[in-house]
């Protein structure tokens, strides 16, 4: 009787690979005192090559093991950080081995979840914040703004302020950042909600007392030159103590700014009267149009307080703008109540600063767009801006 043929047996494949994978991972996780720098990087290169052919579960195991090992070679950490989010989340959350270049590259190549996790890190370098400010999703931007460990460069704040015009939900978070400058806050004021506007006026309006005192002799020098230097004249506009335009009062058909406000309540606000109020208040036409057409109305409170208009004229100007003073229930209209409260909390000096900053910034070379093209271009465009402002006033008031 013939012997039965024994079935062929195939040795189990993968045990050696799994064992080697774990040994290499053990070596990478060793402290620097136990493994030489050269050995660690050689082992990392081998492990990285194996990860290219590994299963998702093996990559995740590697990421979990190296979650807090900052000594792990950067190339290995970068690869794990750019894997699927299921893998990357373990190292992105708290591994301190990533530098700014690593994190920025992961932001560029990763998914929205990758960027959100980076925005929640304990420390976010400046260049990463600058990238997130421009390109990240809204929820990632909000997480970054709420993160005190985010180091925000001025370029990032510039981009966030520009972005806040369309994504207004970031304004309340942005105004809380210590990196915000008056130029940022005063620009963002116009599209912010009432609570954010209140914080902007309270935090970024200055009284300029020291500035005025230090530069007071310069006004005499400029007057002696008949204000012929356009650069000095424009700069001194922001510093000057007086707000009302005395020369405009002499040419105006109205006896005073208050007289013009009374006329608006009697006859209604049209484009000519809006410009006249602006001239009497020492404002450019576009500044006056922006203040008087603002839906929130806080700008009207700033205008009245900064020009020394008494609180009794605030409801008169409000009525001249055809804005309601009372609600349907007979109570004070909530929008006007907020405007009146804004008038009360501001000092005259701080309201003047806000008015002058708005007025000055319209044609200042400090604006980012003008800084790119140069001051000469800004000066050349100033006359065009004035004519555009007059057209804007006509469009706003329709008459």
Model confidence pLDDT, tens digit, residues 163-184: 999 999 999 999 999 999 988 9
- The fraction of the chain above a pLDDT of 90, given in percent, is 62
- In this predicted structure, the answer to whether residue 372 has a pLDDT above a threshold of 50 is no
Which range marks the domain in which residue 331 is found?
242-365+384-397
**Number of separate domains in the chain:** 2
pLDDT at position 219 is: 85
Which two tokens mark 280? 């009497």
Least confident of 180-184, 310-314, 380-384: 380-384
> What's residue 171's pLDDT?
96
Residue 155 within any structural domain of the chain: no
Out of 78, 98, 118, pick the residue that ends a domain: 98
Among the residue ranges 57-66, 118-127, 247-256, the one predicted with the least confidence is: 247-256
User: Residue 98: exposed, middle, or buried by beta-carbon count in 10 A (0-12, 13-18, 19+)?
Assistant: buried
Alpha-carbon distance values, 168 to 138, 172, 204 (Å): 11, 8, 19
Q: Where a domain ends, among 43, 72, 98? A: 98
What is the band of 371 on the pLDDT scale with cuts at 50, 70, 90?
Answer: very low
pLDDT at residue number 342: 95
Lowest mean pLDDT among 207-211, 227-231, 377-381: 377-381
Residue pair 179/159 in contact by the 8 Å Cβ criterion: no
- Taking alpha carbons only, the member of 317, 291, 313 closest to residue 302 is 291
pLDDT above 70 covers what percent of the chain? 87
Give the mean pLDDT of 252-262: 92
Range of weakest confidence among 248-252, 288-292, 293-297: 248-252
For the chain, give the mean pLDDT: 86
Q: What is the pLDDT of residue 370?
A: 38
Cβ atoms of 386 and 258 within 8 Å: the answer is: no
Model confidence at 387: pLDDT above 70: no
Nearest to 393 by CA among 355, 385, 304: 385
| Dihedral (Cα; 187, 190, 191, 193), 10-degree rounding | 120
Assigned domain for 323 exists: yes
Would the pLDDT of 39 be above 60? Answer: yes
- Which position has the higher pLDDT, 205 or 178? 178
| Domain membership flag for residue 346 | yes
Rg of the Cα trace of the chain? 32
Considering all CA atoms of the chain, what is the largest pairwise distance in Å, rounded to the nearest integer? 133
Place 7 in a pLDDT band, splitting at 50, 70 and 90. Answer: low
290 part of a folded domain: yes
Residue 69 three-state SS? coil
pLDDT band at 384 (very low <50, low <70, confident <90, very high): very low
What is the average pLDDT across 141-166? 96
User: Higher pLDDT residue, 232 or 341?
Assistant: 341
Q: Residue 135: name the closest of 104, 165, 168 by CA.
A: 104
Q: What mean pLDDT do residues 120-148 have?
A: 96
The answer to which of 39-53, 119-133, 234-248, 364-378 has the lowest mean pLDDT is 364-378
Q: Round to whole Å and give the CA distance between 194 and 163.
A: 19
Q: Where are the alpha helices (DSSP H) in 121-208?
A: 126-135, 138-146, 154-164, 171-174, 182-188, 194-204
194 within some domain: no
Inside any domain, residue 161 = no
- Mean pLDDT across the stretch 323-350? 91
In a domain, 326, yes or no: yes
- Cα–Cα distances (Å) from 201 to 158, 170, 171, 273, in that order, read 19, 18, 14, 27
Both tokens of 288, joined, read: 């006056």
Domain end, chosen from 65, 98, 131, is at 98
Whether the pLDDT of residue 365 is over 60: the answer is no
85 has pLDDT over 80: yes
The pLDDT score that the predictor gives to residue 106 is 97
**Above 80 in pLDDT, residue 389?**
no
Interhelix angle 15-28/37-52, nearest 10 degrees: 140
* Res. 143 pLDDT band, cuts 50 70 90: very high
Mean pLDDT of 333-355: 93
Q: Torsion angle of alpha carbons 38, 39, 44, 45, nearest 10°?
A: 70
Q: Which residues of 265-304 are buried (b: 16+ CB within 10 A; e: fewer)?
A: beeebebebbbbbbbbbbbbbbbbbbbbbbebbbbbbbbb
Within a domain: 191: no
> Which H or E run includes 302?
helix 298-306
């Amino acid at each position: 009787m013939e012997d039965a043929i024994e079935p062929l047996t195939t040795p189990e494949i993968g045990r050696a690979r799994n064992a080697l994978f774990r040994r290499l991972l053990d070596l990478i996780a060793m402290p620097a005192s136990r493994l030489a720098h050269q050995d660690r990087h050689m082992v990392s290169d081998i492990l990285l090559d194996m990860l290219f052919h590994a299963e998702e579960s093996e990559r995740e195991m590697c990421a979990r093991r190296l979650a807090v090992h900052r000594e792990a070679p950067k190339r290995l950490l970068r690869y794990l950080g750019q894997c699927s989010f299921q893998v990357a989340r373990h190292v992105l959350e708290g591994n301190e081995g990533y530098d700014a270049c690593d994190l920025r590259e992961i932001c560029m190549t990763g998914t929205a979840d990758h960027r959100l996790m980076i925005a929640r890190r304990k420390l976010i370098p400046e260049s990463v914040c600058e990238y997130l400010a421009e390109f990240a999703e809204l929820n990632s931007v909000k997480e970054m703004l709420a993160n005190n460990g985010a180091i925000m460069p001025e370029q990032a704040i510039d981009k966030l302020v520009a972005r806040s015009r369309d994504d207004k939900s970031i304004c309340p978070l942005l105004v809380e950042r210590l990196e915000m400058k008056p130029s940022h806050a005063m620009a963002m004021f116009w599209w912010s909600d009432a609570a954010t506007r209140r914080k902007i006026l309270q935090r970024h309006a200055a009284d300029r007392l020291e500035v005025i005192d230090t530069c007071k002799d310069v006004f005499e020098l400029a007057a002696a030159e008949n204000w012929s230097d356009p650069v000095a004249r424009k700069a001194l506009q922001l510093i000057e103590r007086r707000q009302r335009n005395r020369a405009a009062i002499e040419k105006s058909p109205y006896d005073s700014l208050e007289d013009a406000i009374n006329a608006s309540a009697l006859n209604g606000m049209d484009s000519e009267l809006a410009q006249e109020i602006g001239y009497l208040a020492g404002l450019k036409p576009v500044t006056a149009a922006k203040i008087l057409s603002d839906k929130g109305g806080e700008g009207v409170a700033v205008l009245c307080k900064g020009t020394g208009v008494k609180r009794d004229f605030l409801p008169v100007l409000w009525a001249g703008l055809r804005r309601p003073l009372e609600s349907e229930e007979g109570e004070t209209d909530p929008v006007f109540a907020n405007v009146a409260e804004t008038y009360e909390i501001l000092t005259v000096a701080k309201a003047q600063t806000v008015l002058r900053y708005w007025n000055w910034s319209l044609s200042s070379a400090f604006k980012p767009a003008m800084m790119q093209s140069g001051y000469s271009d800004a000066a050349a465009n100033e006359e065009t801006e004035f004519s555009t402002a007059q057209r804007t006033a006509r469009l706003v008031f329709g008459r």
